[in-house]
Chains A and B, each alone.
Chain A
Amino acid sequence: MERLIDAFRPVKKPVELDKTASAKNVAKKLASGSVLVGQGKITTEAELSKKRNTILSHNFN
C-alpha cells in the first residue's frame, strides 16, 4: 500500500531521458522523483507562465 501511495507522489523535475543511460541510472532518477521524458516535448509551468504574460499584455480590441 505504501508503494502504491509513493507511486503517485507528485514530482516537479522533468529530466530528459538519455537513451544510453544504464537501467540503474534510470531507476535512480525515477527513485529521486524525476519525470523521465522521452522523445515527446513538454510544457513546463515556466513556459506556460511566459505564454500567459504575452497574452495578458496584448490588447485584443
Chain B
Amino acid sequence: MAKEGALDEVCSLFKEAEDNLKEYEYVDDTILLPAVNQLRYAGYHLAKAYKIELSESPGIEELDLNITQARNHCKRSIFDSSEGVLLHHLDEVRQFQLDYSKIAVPDIVPDYIDLCTQITKARDLIREASQVPGDTRHEFYKKCREHVTSLKSITDTLSEARPELNKKVDDRNTSTLRWTFGITLAALGAFAAIFALMVAI
C-alpha cells in the first residue's frame, strides 16, 4: 500500500499548484499551458500508481517512483505558475522604470533603492532557475513563491506612487517647455537686434 504521508503531500501540492494556476490566470488573463501540462503529468503518474496499487503483486519501488514523479511534477507546476506571475510583476516594474526613467523616483518612494534590491534578487532567481536542467527546476518552487509575495507588494507600492510621479513628469515637461520657449525668444531677440543694427549701418 502506498505510504499515506506521501500521497497526502502530493494531494496538498496538487491543490497548491491549482491555486497557483488560478493566480496566474487572474493576473495575466491567460492559461499557462506548461504548468497545466505539468499537472497532467502528475495525474498520469498518480493513475499509474493507482494501477500498481490495485495489481495483485504491487511493485513497491515502481509505486514509490510514480508517487515521487507525481510530487515533482506538482512542484514543477507550482514553479512554472509562480515564475509566470513573477515575470508578470517584473514586467510591470520594467514598464514603471521606463515610464519614469527621467524622474528621481526616491523623492516619492523613499525606500525605492531597497525595493530595487529585492526586485533584482527575484530577477536573479529566474536567471538561476533557467540555467539548471528542466528536470531539477521544481526545486526552486518555494523560493519562487516567496518572491511572488514580495513582488506583489512592491508593484502595489509603485502603482500607488504613479499619480505623484505623473505630477513630477508634468512639472518637468512644463519647465522644459518654458526653457525652450525662453531660449527661442532670446534667439529671436538677438537675431532681431543684429538685423536692426545691420539696417542702421
Contact = CB atoms under 8 A, between A and B. Distances in A.
Interface of A: 1, 4-5, 7-12, 14, 35, 40-45, 48, 51-52, 54-56, 58, 60-61
Contacts of A8: 40-41, 43-44, 46-47
Interface SS of chain B: helix
14 contacts: A4-B50, A10-B40, A14-B33, A42-B32, A43-B28, A43-B84, A48-B84, A51-B87, A52-B126, A55-B94, A56-B127, A56-B130, A58-B90, A60-B97
B37 A12 contact: yes
Interface residues of B, number: 35
A42 B126 contact: no
Contacts of B30: 40-43
A55 B126 contact: yes
Interface stretch (B10-18, B115-123, B175-183): B115-123
B93 interface: yes
Contacts of B90: 55, 58, 60
Contact of A58 (B32, B51, B80, B94): B94
B189 interface: no
B55 to A, nearest CB: 9
B171 interface: no
Contact of B123 (A41, A48, A60): A60
Given A10-B41, A55-B90, A60-B123, 17 more contacts: A1-B54, A5-B51, A7-B47, A8-B47, A10-B37, A12-B37, A42-B32, A43-B28, A43-B84, A44-B34, A48-B83, A54-B91, A55-B87, A56-B127, A56-B130, A60-B97, A60-B116
Contact of B34 (A45, A54, A56, A58): A45
A42 B21 CA distance: 12
B29 interface: yes
